[in-house]
Amino acid sequence: MLVAFSVAPSGVGDSVSEAVADAVRVVRESGLPHRTDSMFTTIEGDWDACMDVVRRAVEACQAHGDRVSLVLKADVRAGRTGEMQAKLDRLEAAIERHGPAAERQGTV
C-alpha cells in the first residue's frame, strides 16, 4: 500500500514549516519506506502501519494548533511491495518505449 499525504495546521501564521517538520520526523522515525517532496510525503507499508504513521503525523501537527488539514491518497494493492520505486520505473520505461509525444505526433 502506498499512502501520499499532506498535513498542515491552521491559524498558526504564515509559515507551517516547523509543524510540517515535526510530522516528517514522525515519518522518518517510523522505519517505513518514504519519500517527501514539496507537496506530499509518500509512505509504503501495510494498512495498519501506514494509518498509524498518518495519525501520529497529524498529532505532531496538532501540537502547533488546534486545527489540522489532512489530504490523503492511497493506492491499495494487495501483495505488492517496493511500489514506490517500481511505479516510477514502469512510467520511465513506458516513456522510453514510446518516445516523446511530439515525435509520435510528427511535430518534431
Mapped onto helix, strand or coil, the DSSP state of residue 33 is coil
Residues contacting 107, CB < 8 A, separation 6+: none
Cell of 62: 496538532
Q: According to the model, what pLDDT value does residue 107 have? A: 54
**pLDDT tens string 6-49:** 999 988 778 899 999 999 999 999 999 999 999 999 999 999 99
| Helices within the chain (DSSP H only) | 17-30, 47-62, 83-98, 101-104
pTM: 0.84
Q: According to the model, what pLDDT value does residue 12 have? A: 78
The class of domain 2-79 in CATH terms is alpha beta
Give the start-to-end residue ranges of the domains of the chain. Answer: 2-79
Q: According to the model, what pLDDT value does residue 102 have? A: 56
Q: According to the model, what pLDDT value does residue 88 have? A: 93
The pLDDT > 90 percentage for the chain reads 79
